[in-house]
Structure 1
C-alpha cells in the first residue's frame, strides 16, 4: 500500500530516518488478522488401511519340496493335495475405501451434507466443508445403520446414504442465506454512511442516514485478541489482501483500526462461531461482503459497540 501524503513529523529528519519511519508505518498498516481455533478441534482423518499387494500373498506352510525328497517306488502313492487345503486363504478382499473425511472441502461434501439433512442427520445449511459437525452427523447415520462409527464417509456409508435419499435440488445444496436481524443501532450510527457493528447481536449493518441498507453475520477476535470498540473510519480497502503477519487471505478487506479490518472469512463460512479472528471483523457471506465492498468508500464511518 502506498503511503498517502507526507508526514509533517518527518521534517528535518535525515533521509535514512524518513525511510525507516515509512517501513514501520507500512508494516503496521498491512498487518492482518488470522483465524484461530476456539473450542472443539477438527478430528484428524485416519489413514486408509493398506492391504497386501500381489507380492505379499501367503505362502503354503512346510517349505518347498526338493528333488531328493521324492518317495521311493515301493511307497504307496501320496494322496493328491487339494488346492488351498491346509494353507492360508487367498489375500483378503479390501475393505471399504474412504471417499470423504475431516478437513475435505468439495461439492461432493456439500451433497453429502444435503443428503444427511434430508433424513434428519444434519441440522444446518450445507457448507461443502467436512468439519466436526459433519463428522458427528456421519457417525449418527452410521450408528443407526449398524455401520462402524468412524465419522468418515466410506463406500459402504455413501452407497447406503444414496439408497435412502434423493438427489438434492439446487436450493438444498445452496439455500439462500437468511437476512439476520440488525441490532438496535448505536446513536453514532444514525447519521452519514456507517458500518454499524454490534458485538452483542454479532451483526454488521450497513447504514446510510439512519436507514439499514443491508445486514450480515459477523464474528470477532478472541478474548486474547479482542476486536477494538469505538468510532473509526475506513482508511484502506484491499480486494485481494493477504495478511503480512500470518500469510492468510483476507478478501474484501476494509481496514479501520491498525491491522484490524472487516473482511470475508471462509473459515467462518465453514465452521461458524467455533473459531475466532485475531481482532478482525469476519463476515461469512461472500456475496454480501462483495456487495458491501463495492459500496463502501475510504473515510466511511465504522462504529464497533457492545
Structure 2
C-alpha cells in the first residue's frame, strides 16, 4: 500500500502540470447574445444540418436554431451566426456518424495486440477492440487543442484513479486512466464538441468514461493517431 501511495504521489506531480487543466479550460460559458441578422459564411450547410429550409439567407428561425446549437456545445459567441467554427463542429459530427460501427476500416489502429483503446484524433473518436472484435464504441472524444495536442503513438495505461482531482487547479477528473505523462482518458462535464479542446487529455462523457474504466486495466495498450482539426 505504501508503494502505491508513493507511486501515486510521483504520478500526481507529473500530471498536475497538464492533466488537471484538460477538463474544462477552454470551455468558456456561452456569452449571452441576441440573434444576429447577418447571413453566415456557411449558411446553407448549417441550414441543411439543422433541417432548416436551405435558402442561404438568415431568418429569425434560422438564427434561433443556430444559437441553440451553439449554446448546447459551448460555441462562442452564440449569436446564431453560421460561421466556420459552427460548421466545423457540424461537419465533424457528420463524419463521425458516417463511420458507423467500423471505426478501424482503414486499419490504422494496430489490433493484433489483444485489448487496445484506439484514439482517432482526426475524427475525434475512440473505441476499444479485442483483435478484430469491436468491444465498445466508437464514441466522440475531446482531445488536445492547438499547442496542447494529445501525443500520438503506441502507449500503455500505467495509472488509474477513479476520483482523480487536481489540488493545484481544483479540477475534478473522474475515471482517470493515464497513458502518457499527464495525458489520460477521463470524464468531462462539457460537450465533446466544445472548441477548442482539452489541454492534452482525452475527454469523454461520464457514461463512456465509466465504461472505459470497466473495460481497461493497467498495462492495456492505447494507440493515438491522426491530427485534430485546427491543430
Q: TM-score range by the shorter chain?
A: 0.5 to 0.7
Matching residue of 2:224: 304
Alignment partner of 1:286 out of 190, 199, 206: 206
Aligned partner of 1:253 among 155, 176, 180: 176
- The answer to whether the aligner puts 1:189 opposite 2:178 as a matched pair is no
Residues paired across the two proteins, number = 181
Tell me the residue number matched to 2:134.
212
CA contact (8 A) 1:33 1:277 kept: no
Deviation, structure 1 residue 36: 3.0
Aligned residue for 1:27?
13
Does residue 230 (structure 1) correspond to residue 153 (structure 2)? The answer is yes
Partner in structure 2 of residue 242 of structure 1 = 165
Where do 1:83-98 residues align within 5 Å? none
Gaps of 5+ in 2: 34-49, 53-60, 83-96, 227-231
Q: CA deviation at 1:130?
A: 8.5
Question: Quick one: higher RCO (CA 8 Å, sep 6+), 1 or 2?
Answer: 2
Residue 277 of structure 1 is matched in structure 2 by 198
Cα RMSD over matched residues? 3.9
Offset, 1:254:
0.9
Q: Give, in whole Å, the separation in 1 of the partners of 2:26 and 2:186.
A: 18
Per-residue CA distance 1:232-287 (angstroms, 9 max, x = gap): 11112222221344321112111111111011221234xx241311110112x322
Q: Distance in 1 between matches of 2:125 and 2:185?
A: 12
Which residues in structure 2 correspond to 1:1-306 (within 5 Å)? 3-4=3-4, 24-29=10-15, 32-34=19-21, 35-37=24-26, 42=29, 44-45=31-32, 121-122=64-65, 131-132=74-75, 135-137=78-80, 181=100, 182-183=103-104, 184-213=106-135, 214-269=137-192, 272-283=193-204, 285-306=205-226
Q: CA deviation at 1:42?
A: 4.6
| TM-score normalised by the chain length of structure 1 | 0.48
Segments of structure 1 that go 5 or more residues without pairing to the other structure are: 6-18, 47-115, 141-177
Change (3 A) 1:274 1:127: closer
Aligned-partner Cα distance in 1 for 2:206–2:70: 12
SS in 2 for 1:276: coil
